[in-house]
Amino acid sequence: MKFNAMTGALLGALLLTLSNAYAETPAAKADKPVHGEYRDWRVLGVSHRTEKNTLRAIVGNDKAIEAARGGKINPWPDGAVIGKIVWKERPHPNWPSAIVPGEFSAAEAMIKDSKKFPETGGWGFGHWEGDKLVMNSKEKSAECFACHTAVKDADYVFTIPALP
Amino acid sequence: MKFNAMTGALLGALLLTLSNAYAETPAAKADKPVHGEYRDWRVLGVSHRTEKNTLRAIVGNDKAIEAARGGKINPWPDGAVIGKIVWKERPHPNWPSAIVPGEFSAAEAMIKDSKKFPETGGWGFGHWEGDKLVMNSKEKSAECFACHTAVKDADYVFTIPALP
């Protein structure tokens, strides 16, 4: 096959395809992850976990927000879902004393259903994989719950609603 | 007038009224401030201003959220409003390495209207007094703008949207 205009065009198309394929690799997508429904939820609180070097926004579905604003959170009602959005911390590039979100780390969920999760204080523990909410393994959930027993008196929730 | 059952009841009612009146004083209300529409807006970012000992949630109205998700923020579109909710920092009472919102400090606004605010990069600077959005004085706005010129290249906005 001679290298002519046609093979040149084909080669160009092939290179374009390869280049698009490269752009679609997970690594290239890392700065724009796929998010779940928590992205549209409203703010319950924020936190800076200094021992983990992470910043968090804690958001709630409508049921959780309504409960927080009404002061009806001990216990939180069935149907409330709390989302914890976690980023690695970094200094703001133009204002270094401000610690702001760097790379997105994870989004985790606490789902209140007292009938379904009686053994873990009525809460199910999950996380989002992209836009899909997935329940944690039994082992991982036990780990979550063990830590959250520190705030048993607040129905196992660390977040103190900041916009009541 | 003798002190009998009737005067006792009247006295009781009077005390109850006084106690309710007391509960309605601004001081007693301080732990539940009145919030503006920003309370229903979605998250653009969070920050920990370590030099000011404050935590912030940065939220946007629908126009701002749409722009952030579409990557159309240089410049931000007219109609975008960014809200900055500020709290004093405090260690979480049950997990001291987590810095969380303490007392509510203020909620401030940047309002994009390139025709209305040409002298300050197209942004108007305001703040909420309870649920009312009030524009800042000329002096205060000049102060806001002076600081925001540090991020002129990002259309004067410090917040780098964290959920694009």
Q: Is B50–A99 a contact, with Cβ atoms under 8 angstroms apart?
A: yes
Q: Which helix (H) or strand (E) holds A69?
A: helix A62-70
- Mutation target to probe the B interface, by most B beta carbons within 10 A, among A42, A69, A163 is A163
Cα dihedral across residues B135, B136, B142, B145: positive or negative: negative
| Separation in Å, CA of B98 to nearest CA in chain A | 4
For residue B45, which residues of chain A lie inside 8 Å, CB to CB? 100-101
Mean pLDDT value across chain A: 88
Q: Is A100–B160 a contact, with Cβ atoms under 8 angstroms apart?
A: yes
Q: Is B100–A47 a contact, with Cβ atoms under 8 angstroms apart?
A: yes
- Give the integer Cα–Cα distance in Å for A83 and A102: 18
Question: pLDDT for B84-97, tens place per residue?
Answer: 999 999 999 999 99
- Give the integer Cα–Cα distance in Å for B142 and B137: 9
Paired sense of beta strands A123-129 and A54-60, if any = unpaired
Q: What ipTM was estimated for this complex?
A: 0.82
Q: Which candidate, B125, B116, B109, B118, places its Cα nearest to that of B39? A: B109
Paired sense of beta strands B54-60 and B81-92, if any = antiparallel
**From the list A39, A57, A94, which residue is nearest B46 (CB)?**
A57
User: DSSP readout, B92-124?
Assistant: ETTEEEEEEEEEEEEEEEEEE-TTT-GGGTTEE
For residue B150, which residues of chain A lie inside 8 Å, CB to CB? 94-95
Nearest CA in chain B to A29: B164
| List of domains in chain B | 5-154 (3.50.70.20)
Q: Is A87–B162 a contact, with Cβ atoms under 8 angstroms apart?
A: yes
Question: pLDDT for A56-84, tens place per residue?
Answer: 999 999 999 999 999 999 999 999 999 99
The secondary structure of chain B in percent helix, strand, coil, rounded to multiples of 5, reads 35, 35, 30
For residue B39, which residues of chain A lie inside 8 Å, CB to CB? 42-43, 163
What Å distances lie between residue A123 and A57, A136, A158, CA to CA? 19, 12, 13
Binned at pLDDT 50, 70 and 90, residue A125 comes out as very high
Question: pLDDT for A77-119, tens place per residue?
Answer: 999 999 999 999 999 999 999 999 999 999 999 999 999 999 9
Contact A58, A45 (CB under 8 A): yes
Q: Is A59–B43 a contact, with Cβ atoms under 8 angstroms apart?
A: yes
Helix residue ranges per DSSP H, B1-61: 5-23, 26-29
Q: Is B45–A101 a contact, with Cβ atoms under 8 angstroms apart?
A: yes
Contact A145, A120 (CB under 8 A): yes
Residue A45, classified by CB atoms within 10 Å of its CB into exposed (0-12), middle (13-18) or buried (19+), is buried
What Å distances lie between residue A42 and A134, A164, B47, B160, CA to CA? 21, 12, 17, 19
Mean pLDDT of B105-120: 98
Q: Is A95–B150 a contact, with Cβ atoms under 8 angstroms apart?
A: yes
Q: How many residue pairs bridge chain A and chain B with CB atoms within 8 Å of each other?
A: 113
**From the list B40, B55, B154, which residue is nearest A46 (CB)?**
B55
Mention every residue, 6+ apart, whose C-beta is less than 8 A from residue A156.
A110, A120, A121, A123, A145, A148, A149
Paired sense of beta strands B123-129 and B95-112, if any = antiparallel
- Give the integer Cα–Cα distance in Å for B51 and B140: 20
Q: Is B46–A46 a contact, with Cβ atoms under 8 angstroms apart?
A: yes
The two tokens of residue B50 are 């370590």
Mention every residue, 6+ apart, whose C-beta is less than 8 A from residue A121.
A145, A148, A149, A152, A155, A156
**Could you identify the residue written with the tokens 């976690």?**
A86
Asked if pLDDT for residue B29 goes beyond 50, the answer is: no
